[in-house]
Structure 1
Amino acid sequence: MNTFAFMIHPIEIGDIARKFGPLGKLPPRLVESLFKYAPPLKVSQITGVRSKHAQTEGWFVACPITSRLMIDLPEEYVIKKIIKTGKLAQKLGAKILGLGAFTSVVGDAGITIDKNLDIAVTTGNSYTVATAVEGAREAAALMGHNLKRCHAVVVGATGSIGRVCASLLARDVHALTLVAREKTRLEELAHRITYESGVAPRITSDIRHALHNAQIVITVTSAVDTIIGAEDLMPGAVVCDVSRPRNVSREVAEKRNDVLVIEGGVVEVPGQVNFNFNFGFPPGMSYACMAETMMLSMEGRYESFSLGRDMSLQQVEEISALARKHGFKLAGFRSFERAVTREQIARIRENARHALNTPRAK
C-alpha cells in the first residue's frame, strides 16, 4: 500500500485552543509555552485519495510548536522536535513525509530532517509554486489584466518558492519587481532572470514602494506578522498569498473591495478523500504542499523531492505533469478561508474600475 504522512503545527496560539478546548481558558502565552513540551501527535488518518492510476492513504502528524516559537526558539531545538515528529510518521508506516507551514522553512529547508529519517521527505514547494503562479495568472485574467502589460511583484523573492515564482512570471509580464531584504541575493536573482528571460527585474527591500503600482503580487515570506496592509495596494491588484501565517492583513478584505486576495496553492484532491480533520478547507481540498506529498506517494516515488533552497523549474514542470496524470487541479479561489466566486470577482473588478476612474481627494 502506498502511504504518506504530512506534518502540521499550530500556526498561532488559537489553533491549540481549538483542538484542545479546555486549554482555551488558560492565558494564551502560558498555553503556548506549555505545549512546546508536548510529544508529537497523530492527528488523524487520511483515506480515499484515488486516481484511475493509483491510490494512497496517510496521516496528519503534528509538531506542537507555534509559528512564533519556531522563529524564537533555538533552531537546533526546533529541528529536533520536527525530527521527532518525523519518527512518529515512520512508526505509523508512512513512506514519505511532507513538511507543512514553518516546518518546511526552518534551518536548511528539510535537508537535515531528511538526513535523520529513514523515509523520504518533501516540502511540497514545487507544486506550491506551480499552483501559485497558475492561480495568479487565472485571477489576473478574470480581473481584466493583460499579463503582457502587467507589473508583477514577488515579495520574498530570494526564498526557495519566491525565486521560481519570479522566474515563471518573468516569461509573462511586462515588468517585474523583486522584494527581499538581502541586496546581494536580490542582485544575483535579477541577473539570472535577465539572462533567462530578457526581462530586467527591479529590486528593492521597500515593500510599500514596490506595491503601489503592481497589478499582480505573489507574496511568500516567512514573516510571522502581516506585512501588506489595506493602503499598500492599487485598485485592481491581484495578490496571491502563499505564506502561512499570511503576509496580507485581514483589513485588506475588510477595507478594500477593489482588490482580489487569493490563497496560494488550494488544490482539489482526486477520489473521495477524507482528512478526518478540519484544517479550514471544504471537503476534498488541500494545500498544494499536501498534494505534492500525496502524488509522490501514489507514484511510489519515495524520494526526497523538494528540499533545500535550490528548487528548479524542471522540478515544478515534473510535479505539474504528475498532478495532471492523477487529477490534482487548482480548486477555484479562496480568500481568508472563504470561497471566492466569479460573480464576486466581477464585482471586485467593477469596484476597481470605478476607483481608478475616480479622482482621489487631495
Structure 2
Amino acid sequence: MKFGFIAHPTSPDLKRYVKMLDLFERTSTDQNDGYDRKIWDKKNLISFMDFARIRSATGAECEGVVRYMPLTAKEMLGSAREVQQRINRGIIELTAEGAQLVGLGGFTSIIGKRGLQTAESSPVPVTSGNSLTTYAGYKALDQIFQWLNITPNKEPVCIVGYPGSICLSLSKLLLSRGFRLDLLHRNTSTPKQQLLELLPRKYHGQVRLTADIETCYSRNRIYAGATSSGGIVDPDKLLPGSIFIDIALPRDVAADKRPTRKDIIIIDGGCLSASSAVTFGGESLNIAIKQQLNGCLAETMILALENRAETFSIGRNLDPDKVLEIGEIAEKHGFYAYPFSSYGERIEKQHVLNLSRYYQDIPAETSNQSDLAYINGVINSKASHADTLGRHSNYINPMMVDFLKLQHCDHVFIKGQGTQLINEQGDHYLDMVAGYGCLNLGHNPLAVRKALTQYLENHGSNFIQYVSIPEQTAKLADALIHLAPGKLQRVFFSNSGTEAVEAAIKIANAATGNPTIAYLENSYHGKTLGALSITGREKHRKHFQPLLPHCIQVPFADIDALRTVLTQQDIGALIVEIIQGEGGVHVPPEGYLQQVQAVCKETNTLLMVDEIQTGLGRTGRMFACEWEGIEPDVMMLSKSLSGGLIPIGATLCTAQVWDRAYGTSDRFLLHTSTFGGGNLAAVAALSALQAILEQDLPKHALEMGAYFKAELTQVTKNYPFIIDIRGKGLMLGIEISHDFENGVEACAREFATRLPGDWHTTYKFLPDDVRSHLQLAMARIEQTLSEMFCMKFVTKLGMDHKILTFVTANSSTVIRIQPPLIISKDEVDHFVSAFATVCEEMGTFLN
C-alpha cells in the first residue's frame, strides 16, 4: 500500500530549509535536463522524500511520499480558505502518484474543522495522525513517572491546551489511570462546567480547571502541551525540576532553541522512532530518517503497513481506545515513543533521573536539619552507575560525561587493587593508564596504606606548617635530596605537578632576576596559568590568552635552534621534559640532552627538568635524566611520589638557586602553600619511595618495558596504521594513524559527479571565502577521522578485552602505555594479545 503525507514547516527557519531543498532540486533538474520553464513554475507541494519501501519489524511493507506545503502555521491561519483548497489539490496530486491514504501534518489537519471538511472532499481516506501523536505523549508521561518512581496521584500533571483533540483524549487516558490533572484552557466565554462535562463525570474530582498559566508555574512540575497556537509557556518561570512534554507543533514552550536551564527538561513528546528492525527504503551507511518521526507521519505509515486505508484520526474527539490501539500496533511494527529528544537532541534516562531530587519528600525540619539529611542521604546512598554519571554531569563536567559515553569509556569503578580496577558488577579491568603515571606502585599499595593508617591511628600531626617544623616532611626532603641527581639540595612541597611547575617558574624568576623562560615545542607542563604559558601546545593555550609574557618556544630536539635562542636572547631558564609524555611519548635523540645541558652552562641559563611523569622509576632509572647524566638546577616531581594516594608535588633546586631566590629574611616566605608540606602526604611519599626501592621497580620497568616494546613491535609490524611504538621503560606510546587525507574532498567530488546536474561548476562560483572555509573544514574533518580511528582502539580494548587505555593530551593519535610498574609478564602478554586482536579487527579498513 502506498501513502502520501502533506507536511508544512512549523517555523520561519524550517520554511527557509524547505525553500533550500526546493531550490536544490530544481537547480539539479535544470543543470541535468536543461532549462525548461516548467521546472521553475509555482508548485502547490514541494518534494521532500520518497520512501521506496518501508519494511516493519513484522515483515509488513508499504511505500510512501512526503511533500511539503511551504507555509507556516501563521500563514495558513491567515488564509484558511485558500489553504483548504491547496490541501485538497495536494491530496489529488498525491492520489495521482498512487497514494491510497493521505496523512495530514500539523495545521494541514486543523484547517477545515480539524480535517472533517478535507475528509469529506478527499478521493481517498485521510488521517491527522493525532491518535498516535497522543499515544506518544501518553507513553512519555508514563515513562517519566516510572523513572521518577512517583505514583500517578502524587504529582499533578498540567495539560496545556485543553480541550483540544490531543489534550482531551490524553486527559481521558491519564484520568483512567488515577492521575490528577490541572487543565489549562483558553480564557473564553465557555463556562467551566461545560468544559468539565467533556470528561466522564466520575473523573471530575481529579481535575482542576484554570485559564491562567501563572497559577500553574507555582503548582506544577510535570506538563504536557498540545495547543494550536504555541508559545504558551515561559521556560524561565517553570519550577526547578519541571519536565514539559511538548507534544504537538508549534511548540508550546516559548523558545526557538533549547532552554539553557539545566534544572528543567523540555521533551519533544509527540514523536516516535523506528527500531533497528525497521528498514526505510534503500538504507545505506546506517543512514535513514527513522528517529523522532512526528506522530502524524508515523500513524500514516502504520496504517499503510496494516493495509488500512481508513480515516482514522479526524475531528476533535479522538477515541482513547483507538489511541491505545494505534499505539499497540505501532509498537508491534517496531515504532516506539522512546528514545526521547529535546529540540532534536537525545534525552537519556539519566537526564530525567538528575531531576529526581525535586520530587522527594522534604521533611518539615529546620534548614540545618534538612541540609544534614540531604548530605547524609548522599553519603549513605548506594550510587548506581547512572547516579554517578548524573552527578558528574550535573555538578562537574557534562561534556566529559558525554565524551566518555560516546567512546564507551564511561566506567565507574568502586575498587582498585594492584594493576586492576573493579566496577560494581565485579568486572576486572587491566589499568594501562595508571593515573597518567601516578600509580607506579599500583592501586592502593599496601605499604603506603599501612603507613597512612598507622600515622592516622597514632593521631599524627599534619597541618603544623609555619607554626612548627613538620617532622615527616623534613624526612621526605632528606630522602629526596639523597636520591636526586646532581647537586639538588632544597625542596618546596606543593599539591600537584602543575603547582610544582609554578614554583619552578617563580624560583627561576627570583633567582635570576630574569622572567624569560624558554620551553620546547609540543611540551606539556600543566594547565594552571604559569605552567600553561610554557606548554608547547596551542590547543591548550588559545582560550586563555594573554598568558605570561617572556616565554619563548623552541623547536623540540633541535640543538642549533636552542643554541641560537639561548645565545642571542636574554633567557633566564630553560624547562625540558626528558621524554615528552603528553606530547605523544617522544624521546629526544641520544646525546641531545647532554648538549642542552652544555649550552645552558655556556649561556648561564638555569636548566629546569620536568620529571613529573618520568620520575620515580618509570623509564628504568629512578629519574629519567640519569640516562644522560643530566644535573638539573631545578627539578619537578609529583604524580607517583605518594603512591597515588595523597596529592603532592615537589620542586627541587640547588642550594645556590634557592639562596638567590629566597635566602633572605624578606624573601624566605614569598612562596608558600596551605596544604603543601603536610606530614600526612610526606608519610605517604616516604613509604612510596621505600616500596619503589625495595621492589627495585626501576629495574623491573626497564626489563618489562623492553619486553613489552619488542612484543608489540612484533605483533603490529604488518599493520600500516601502526606508525610507531616508542618510549623507554614502561613509558610507551603507540602512534596510530589511518590516512584519510583528501577523503572528504573525494567524497564531495564523487557526489558532485554522481548527482544530477553540474555541481562542480556550481562549486566554482561559490564565494572565495566560502570555498576557503569548506577546504579548512574538510581538512579538519579528515584529521578528526584519524583521531576517531585511534579512539576505536581505546574503545575496543576496554569493551572487548577489559583493558583501560587512553590517548595523550597533545596528540589524539597516540595511545599511552603507562601501567603500574608492578605489572607482570602475564599481564603484558594479555595486553599484547588483545592489541593484536584489535589490530586484526581494525584491519578491515585496509581491505
> What's the TM-score once normalised by structure 2's chain length?
0.38
Q: Is it true that 1:133 corresponds to 2:138 in the alignment? A: yes
- Kept in 2, the 8 Å contact 1:38–1:64? The answer is no
Equivalent-residue separation in structure 2 for 1:212 and 1:251 (angstroms): 24
- Kept in 1, the 8 Å contact 2:129–2:296? The answer is yes
Q: How does 1:51-70 map to 2 (within 5 A)?
A: 51=56, 52-70=58-76
- Indicate the SS of the match to 1:39: coil
The Cα offsets for residues 236-263 of structure 1, whole Å up to 9 and x where unpaired, read as: 2221101212111338943432122111
- Going from structure 1 to structure 2, the CA distance change for 1:161 and 1:312 (only over 3 Å counts) comes to same
Q: How does 1:157-168 map to 2 (within 5 A)?
A: 157-168=162-173
Between 232-241 and 135-144, report the one with greater CA deviation: 135-144
- Kept in 2, the 8 Å contact 1:274–1:283? The answer is no
Match of 2:350? 343
Q: Is it true that 1:119 corresponds to 2:118 in the alignment? A: no
- Indicate the SS of the match to 1:84: helix
Given candidates 232, 243, 249, the residue that maps to 2:248 is 243
Q: Is it true that 1:5 corresponds to 2:11 in the alignment? A: no
- Indicate the SS of the match to 2:112: coil
Could you tell me how far 1:163 is from its partner in structure 2? 0.4
After superposing on structure 2, the runs of 4+ consecutive aligned residues of structure 1 that deviate more than 6 Å are 356-359
- Indicate the SS of the match to 1:184: coil
Between 248-257 and 258-267, report the one with greater CA deviation: 248-257
Equivalent-residue separation in structure 2 for 1:253 and 1:20 (angstroms): 24
Given candidates 108, 114, 125, the residue that maps to 1:109 is 114
Q: Is it true that 1:170 corresponds to 2:175 in the alignment? A: yes
- Kept in 2, the 8 Å contact 1:7–1:60? The answer is yes
Equivalent-residue separation in structure 2 for 1:249 and 1:110 (angstroms): 26
Between 132-141 and 208-217, report the one with greater CA deviation: 208-217
Match of 2:201? 195
Could you tell me how far 1:105 is from its partner in structure 2? 1.3
The Cα offsets for residues 173-225 of structure 1, whole Å up to 9 and x where unpaired, read as: 5531111113537533423435243634111111121232113211100115x
Between 171-180 and 249-258, report the one with greater CA deviation: 249-258
Q: Which amino acid in structure 2 is aligned with residue 328 of structure 1?
A: F
Could you tell me how far 1:94 is from its partner in structure 2? 0.7
Could you tell me how far 1:330 is from its partner in structure 2? 1.6
- Indicate the SS of the match to 1:129: helix
The Cα offsets for residues 288-311 of structure 1, whole Å up to 9 and x where unpaired, read as: 211111111111111111011121
Higher relative contact order (CA 8 A, sep 6+): 1
Match of 1:149? 154
Match of 2:293? 286
Q: Which amino acid in structure 2 is aligned with residue 10 of structure 1?
A: P
The Cα offsets for residues 35-55 of structure 1, whole Å up to 9 and x where unpaired, read as: xx6422232201342222411
The Cα offsets for residues 122-162 of structure 1, whole Å up to 9 and x where unpaired, read as: 00011111110110121233234332201111111111111
- Indicate the SS of the match to 1:46: strand
- Indicate the SS of the match to 2:181: strand
> What's the TM-score once normalised by structure 1's chain length?
0.84
- Indicate the SS of the match to 1:61: strand
- Kept in 2, the 8 Å contact 1:40–1:84? The answer is no
By percentage of residues, which structure has more strand?
1
Could you tell me how far 1:231 is from its partner in structure 2? 3.2
- Going from structure 1 to structure 2, the CA distance change for 1:198 and 1:223 (only over 3 Å counts) comes to closer
- Indicate the SS of the match to 2:136: helix
- Indicate the SS of the match to 2:237: coil
- Going from structure 1 to structure 2, the CA distance change for 1:110 and 1:262 (only over 3 Å counts) comes to same
- Indicate the SS of the match to 2:354: helix
- Kept in 1, the 8 Å contact 2:15–2:71? The answer is no
- Indicate the SS of the match to 1:149: coil
Q: Which amino acid in structure 2 is aligned with residue 294 of structure 1?
A: M
Given candidates 209, 212, 222, the residue that maps to 2:215 is 209
- Kept in 2, the 8 Å contact 1:3–1:56? The answer is yes
- Going from structure 1 to structure 2, the CA distance change for 1:150 and 1:61 (only over 3 Å counts) comes to same
- Going from structure 1 to structure 2, the CA distance change for 1:185 and 1:153 (only over 3 Å counts) comes to farther
Q: Which amino acid in structure 1 is aligned with residue 303 of structure 2?
A: L
Structure 1: 5+ residue stretches without partners: 25-36
Q: Is it true that 1:265 corresponds to 2:270 in the alignment? A: yes
- Kept in 1, the 8 Å contact 2:153–2:179? The answer is yes
Could you tell me how far 1:82 is from its partner in structure 2? 1.2
Could you tell me how far 1:348 is from its partner in structure 2? 3.6
- Kept in 1, the 8 Å contact 2:169–2:317? The answer is no
Structure 2: 5+ residue stretches without partners: 24-41, 368-847
Equivalent-residue separation in structure 2 for 1:267 and 1:208 (angstroms): 31
Equivalent-residue separation in structure 1 for 2:220 and 2:260 (angstroms): 18
Equivalent-residue separation in structure 1 for 2:179 and 2:7 (angstroms): 38
Q: Is it true that 1:71 corresponds to 2:77 in the alignment? A: yes
- Kept in 1, the 8 Å contact 2:2–2:99? The answer is yes
The Cα offsets for residues 93-127 of structure 1, whole Å up to 9 and x where unpaired, read as: 11101111111112211111112221110000111
Equivalent-residue separation in structure 2 for 1:200 and 1:147 (angstroms): 11
Between 123-132 and 254-263, report the one with greater CA deviation: 254-263
Given candidates 223, 245, 255, the residue that maps to 2:229 is 223
Equivalent-residue separation in structure 1 for 2:298 and 2:130 (angstroms): 10
- Kept in 1, the 8 Å contact 2:18–2:70? The answer is no
Matched residues, number: 339
Match of 2:259? 254
Q: Which amino acid in structure 2 is aligned with residue 8 of structure 1?
A: A
Equivalent-residue separation in structure 2 for 1:76 and 1:152 (angstroms): 36
Between 93-102 and 143-152, report the one with greater CA deviation: 143-152
Given candidates 103, 115, 138, the residue that maps to 1:98 is 103
